[in-house]
Amino acid sequence: MVQVYYGVAFAIAIMFAATYIHIWHKHFDINFTMVFSLVPIACLGYWMGSTATNLEEAFAALKVIYIGGCFLQLFILFSVMNLCRIRVGRWIRVLLFFVTALIYASVLTIGRTDLFYKSVTFELVNGLPVLTKQYAWMHTVFYAVLIMFFLASLIVIGYSWLKKSQVPRTIIYLLIFPDVICVSCFFLGRKVVSTIDLVPVGYVIAEVIYLLIAYRVNLYDVGETVIDSMVRERAIGYISFDFNNRYLGSNEMARKLIPELSVLKVDQVLGESANEKKIWHFLESFQKNQDNDLFVFTYHETEAPDDERIYNVNVNYLYDGVKKRGYIITFTDDTQNRKYIQLLDSYNDKLKREVDAKTQHIMEMHDNLIMSLATMVESRDNSTGGHIKRTSEGVRILVDEILKLGTLSLSEEFCKDVIKAAPMHDLGKIAVDDEVLRKPGKFTDEEFEKMKIHAAEGARVIHEILEHTDDESFKHVAENVAHYHHERWDGSGYPEGLSGEQIPIEARIMAIADVYDALVSKRVYKEAFSTDRANAIIMEGMGTQFDPSLKTAYEKARPRLEAYYKAI
């Protein structure tokens, strides 16, 4: 049964060593490899001792066992120092190795000298080998060195916990256990179980913990795979996190940009400072949508606050081989490119302002030309003085109330075009004979027919004036206003006899403003109507002459219309 116990321990040690080989990475500490090499050898020695049939075989087993007994604690100490980033001189490492090798050399003299054991007796009890040993002074040195290595490891771990914020907390936790377990099994094992040695169990447990450390350490060392020269040359900073958003590490450049990282302990989550909240934002945006992986970070030098640096921020998965292990955030200095782009943007903005100013000037000239033409046409008609200005204001008031009501889905651009087109509604009168246009009284039927051509002629004139304009939407609206503002909702209007929604909405709006002005203004053939009488006529025409859907807008506009006409 004892032989089975040691055999199983040896087999498990071999299995864990094979697992370590399987996950081996070039960044693994060499001391890990030594631990996983020595544990199976030591376990093999215990199995050899359990099957020994004479003293010579027992001596051979002891010499194999003490390979682990002497060197394992040394390499555990070295691995603790490396993982805790404690730098010691090479000569100290060489000295410690030399002392350990000297102790093991004394082990090799067992059976020939009394350096390690003064005497050893061998006997078989119930078929099991039993050694009775009397320890010599080198064995005492061995114990002292073993305890010294153990205490040194605990001191390094404790110091790192208190002082080394960049040492992963998880690694510190894990490092405590293999040391304590191995030493406890070595010194206390025989007192707990007298028939077997618990040291192989301690070794196997240590292997399990070191496998966990090896698996975890890849996360913290992944930054080492970045070529240092590239990082320095391009001023690249990087920060890594695991999938629980715990901080894994960063390089010097990142800690310069985010000073809070210098005091943030590894394996902790970010705090609530302004910079850390920005990092949270980068991570959360990427976690919600992997396409959200590009951001901008602005940094101001402490010594020169006006010296602004702009960094492109990229968030991506942190890979260990082909496996995703967390997230990595990289900062790349993009200041020069940004300044160049800003310079181009500034130049483009200046150029755009100049072009806009020229375009605005041309548009104003264009509008003034049209307004002058409309005024000139109006001056030929001795019965409609000021009609253009008044109807334009009437259209503006009506459109404003239509937008407030929101019952018609009219765009802001369309409404501007309607207001702008209003002064052009009677441009077609330029084609009407003076004897008709300037007649000081009511038209005969024949004269009225001649007057009616101004609607279609207005559309034609506007089409020719605006033929080469880039503003197609305004051209369309202006033509419709001129062409159809005398159409009636019931189809009895002119020039096309359109009805209902066949009449463009811009012409329907223009019709109300045009008729309202004709009613409240003095003409050669009539006196001005009162606003109450004009309102009654407009309301009576809703559904026959005018679009009934504009009734509410007209009612809302009425007080403003009356105030306007009263003020002029």
Better-scored residue on pLDDT, 176 or 361 = 176
* pLDDT at res. 468: 78
If you average pLDDT over residues 28-47, what whole number do you get?
88
Instruction: Grade residue 227 by pLDDT with cuts at 50, 70 and 90.
Output: very low
308 has which bridge partners? 300
- Measured CA to CA in angstroms, residue 262 lies from 140, 320, 339, 399 at distances of 45, 25, 30, 62
**pLDDT value at 555 more than 90:** yes
Q: What are the boundaries of each domain within the chain? A: 2-223, 226-333, 355-567
**pLDDT value at 87 more than 50:** yes
Tell me which range, 21-25, 183-187, 196-200, 491-495, is most confidently predicted by mean pLDDT: 491-495
* pLDDT at res. 317: 92
Q: What is the pLDDT of residues 20-34, one digit of tens each?
A: 888 877 667 788 889
Angle at CA 456, nearest 5°, toward 453 and 458? 100
* pLDDT at res. 193: 57
Q: What is the pLDDT of residues 142-169, one digit of tens each?
A: 999 988 998 998 898 888 888 888 788 8
3-state secondary structure of 237: strand
* Main-chain phi, psi angles of 523, to 5 degrees: -125, 165
Q: What is the pLDDT of residues 48-71, one digit of tens each?
A: 988 888 889 888 999 999 998 889
Residues of the chain with pLDDT > 70: what percent?
A: 89
Q: Give counts: helices (H), strands (E), the chain.
A: 19, 7
If you average pLDDT over residues 309-315, what whole number do you get?
90
128 has which bridge partners? 125
Other C-beta atoms closer than 10 Å to the C-beta of 478 total 29
Predicted TM-score (pTM) above 0.85: no
If you average pLDDT over residues 487-513, what whole number do you get?
94
Domain 226-333 has CATH 3.30.450.20: yes
CATH topology classification for 2-223:
Rhopdopsin 7-helix transmembrane proteins (1.20.1070)
Amino acid at 247: Y
If you average pLDDT over residues 1-30, what whole number do you get?
84
Q: Which two three-digit tokens encode residue 228? A: 């240092």
* pLDDT at res. 512: 95
User: What residue ranges in 199-333 does DSSP mark as E strands?
Assistant: 237-242, 247-250, 294-300, 308-320, 323-333
**pLDDT value at 105 more than 70:** yes
Instruction: Grade residue 229 by pLDDT with cuts at 50, 70 and 90.
Output: very low
Quickly tell me which residue has 């992944």 as its tokens: 222
Among the residue ranges 99-108, 360-369, 468-477, 535-544, the one predicted with the least confidence is 360-369
User: What residue ranges in 53-202 does DSSP mark as E strands?
Assistant: 117-125, 128-135
**pLDDT value at 134 more than 70:** yes
Which strands form 247-250's sheet, in the order they lie side by side?
Answer: 247-250, 237-242, 323-333, 308-320, 294-300
Better-scored residue on pLDDT, 190 or 349 = 349
Among the residue ranges 77-81, 302-306, 529-533, the one predicted with the least confidence is 302-306
Tell me which range, 354-363, 438-447, 457-466, is most confidently predicted by mean pLDDT: 457-466
Instruction: Grade residue 367 by pLDDT with cuts at 50, 70 and 90.
Output: low
Listing DSSP states for 66-78 in one string gives HHHHHHHHHHHHH
Tell me which range, 226-230, 454-458, 553-557, is most confidently predicted by mean pLDDT: 553-557
Q: Which two three-digit tokens encode residue 478? A: 């202006």
Q: What is the pLDDT of residues 240-289, one digit of tens each?
A: 999 999 999 998 889 889 999 988 988 999 888 988 999 999 999 999 99
* pLDDT at res. 383: 52
pLDDT averaged over every residue in the chain: 84
Q: What is the pLDDT of residues 279-291, one digit of tens each?
A: 999 999 999 998 8
**pLDDT value at 129 more than 90:** no
* pLDDT at res. 253: 87
* pLDDT at res. 191: 52
CATH topology classification for 355-567:
Hypothetical protein af1432 (1.10.3210)
